[in-house]
Structures are given as structure tokens and as C-alpha cells.
């Protein structure tokens, strides 16, 4: 049923738990597991265009990508299936949706932080946007202390 599963990962404290959910499903369906981390576009973080020159941006992004690769390794320590690791830069939900379409992903498994109030208004919900825009099913997981077993 599912041939390719995508798990967006933000390296929050519950990331490895979400990856475990996705890996269990991938294993059950003998599916490929893709992990994606999207680095927000750094231009959004400063109003001072002269501060982030193209050279500075490239250097900062290289450092971030190196850290992300190390974080990927920590997140997949308990995963016993092959994983494809993808790093993108841009608007998080848009990069996820673009990847889903480009790679023919059949299922997205992602965590939700459950933000509400002003935090939700200011930050928004990546999971909510992905659910609304995805061309495939999306399984959202609110991980706080829950365990998951695939039958």
C-alpha cells in the first residue's frame, strides 16, 4: 500500500520518537523511509540585508547542514531499516510538499507540537499546512508520552 514514506524532522526532543513511528510503518509495508529537514531561509531572520552577504549565507548554511547531518545520525540510532536523508532550505511546508510531489511519496508521518494561542498565530503550524496541502495521506503524531506498536 505504501511504497515511500516521508518523515519531516525538526530535531525537537520528540524527533526520534516520531522517526520510530515512521520506521515501524515503513518496515510493516516494506516501504522506503525518507527523512527531510528543512532549514528556514536565513533571509527571513534579519532585516539587515547587508549583514547577510551571499558569502556569509553560504558559509552559515554549510555549517547548519553539517550539524543537521549529525542530528540525523542521532535521530535514527534505533532505526533498523535504510533511511534516505534529505536537507532542503526554504519555506518548511512548501519544501515538504514539493518533495512529496517530486518523489511520489505515499504517506507523510510527522509530529505536531500542539501550539495554540499567540504562539500558533506567530509561528503557525507546519503540520497543519502540510495536512491541507499534501497530495497524500498525512499521519500526525502528538508524541507526549505515547508509545506505538505496529501489529
Residue 90 lies in a domain: yes
**Mean pLDDT estimate for the chain:** 83
Residue 12 lies in a domain: yes
Residue 44 lies in a domain: yes
Q: In the chain, how many domains are there? A: 1
pLDDT at 40: 82
Residue 133 lies in a domain: yes
What is the value of pTM for the model shown? 0.82
| Domain membership of residue 46 as a residue range | 4-141
Strands in the chain per DSSP E: 4-8, 32-40, 83-90, 107-111, 138-141
Average pLDDT for residues 112-128, to the nearest whole number?
63
Residue 36 lies in a domain: yes
Percent of the chain residues past pLDDT 70, beyond the cut? 77
Residue 106 lies in a domain: yes
Domain harbouring 108, CATH code: 3.40.50.620
pLDDT band at 122 (very low <50, low <70, confident <90, very high): very low
Residue 149 lies in a domain: no
Q: Is the pLDDT of residue 46 over 80?
A: no
Residue 146 lies in a domain: no
Nearest to 87 by CA among 71, 102, 75, 69: 69
Query: 53 or 116, which is more confident?
Result: 53
Predicted confidence (pLDDT) per residue in 52-75, tens digit: 677 777 777 788 888 888 888 888
Q: Is the pLDDT of residue 49 over 50?
A: yes
Amino acid at each position: 500500500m505504501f511504497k515511500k514514506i516521508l518523515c519531516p524532522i525538526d530535531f525537537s526532543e520528540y524527533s526520534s520518537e516520531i522517526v520510530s513511528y515512521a520506521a515501524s510503518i515503513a518496515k510493516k509495508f516494506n516501504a522506503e523511509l525518507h527523512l527531510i529537514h528543512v532549514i528556514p531561509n536565513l533571509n527571513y531572520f534579519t532585516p539587515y540585508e547587508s549583514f547577510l552577504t551571499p558569502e556569509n549565507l553560504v558559509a552559515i548554511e554549510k555549517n547548519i547542514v553539517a550539524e543537521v547531518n549529525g542530528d540525523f545520525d542521532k535521530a535514527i540510532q534505533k532505526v533498523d531499516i535504510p533511511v534516505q536523508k534529505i536537507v532542503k532550505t526554504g519555506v518548511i511546508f512548501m519544501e515538504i510538499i514539493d518533495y512529496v510531489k517530486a518523489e511520489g511519496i505515499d504517506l507523510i508521518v510527522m509530529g505536531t507540537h500542539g501550539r495554540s494561542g499567540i504562539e500558533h498565530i506567530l509561528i503557525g503550524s507546519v503540520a497543519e499546512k502540510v495536512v491541507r496541502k499534501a497530495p497524500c495521506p498525512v499521519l500526525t503524531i502528538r508524541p507526549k508520552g505515547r508509545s506505538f506498536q505496529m501489529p
